[in-house]
Amino acid sequence: MVQEFIARMNSCGGLWNLVEVYWTQFQPLFVNESKKLTQNCVQQLFNIEWSPTGSNNKDQEEATIYLWEGWLMEIQEAGTDISFEDLLVFVTGADHIPPLGFPHPCTITFYDQEPGSRRIPYASTCSLTISLPRGVEEEQEFNDLMNTARKGSLGFGKV
């Protein structure tokens, strides 16, 4: 089986011969070396879909991102029982970043908190999107919403 694998790899322009010569560059493709995620790594995964500049929504979204970054910092400092890997599972369904990365960047979108109701953040693992609430002003309230959302998501079909 191994010889067949090597022969088929070499049938693609001598790919296996390249792997043997430049094995250190190919190592992440063949060996799972998932490293512990950091706050910086998680922040770089996301693109933010902002409202137009100057709008009330944009101001509220900037406040939400400030709280989001504070929550990520709390995770980094082990101030919560949620890990970055847990967050990644919540948003993408994967517990580590694939060797070649995700097919497209993860996205942060926003929704409005309606007066008198409490909607928790939600994610779509298919589109790699997390939706965060606009208009949350208190750090503890935002942290509670995020922790409730993450802890309440037990996986597909387990609600």
Q: How far, in Å, CA of 150 to CA of 130, rounded? A: 11
Q: How far, in Å, CA of 97 to CA of 27, rounded? A: 15
What pTM was estimated for this model as a whole?
0.77
Percentage of the chain exceeding pLDDT 70: 95
Over residues 28-48, the pLDDT tens digits come to: 777 777 678 899 999 999 999
Classify residue 53 as left (phi > 0), alpha (psi -120 to 50) or beta. beta
| Domains detected in the chain | 1-31 (no CATH), 39-152 (3.30.2410.10)
The DSSP symbol for 51 reads: P
Please enumerate, as own/partner, the contacts of 89-94 that have beta carbons within 8 Å and a separation of 24 or more: 90/123, 90/130, 90/149, 90/150, 90/153, 91/123, 91/125, 91/128, 91/129, 91/130, 92/125, 92/128, 93/125
Residue 154: pLDDT band by 50, 70, 90 thresholds?
low
Q: Determine contact, residues 113/135, Cβ cutoff 8 Å.
A: yes
Over residues 39-96, the pLDDT tens digits come to: 999 999 999 999 999 888 999 999 999 999 999 999 999 877 888 999 999 999 988 8
Active-site residue flag, 126: yes
Which of these is catalytic: 12, 41, 106, 126? 126
Residue 17: pLDDT band by 50, 70, 90 thresholds?
very high
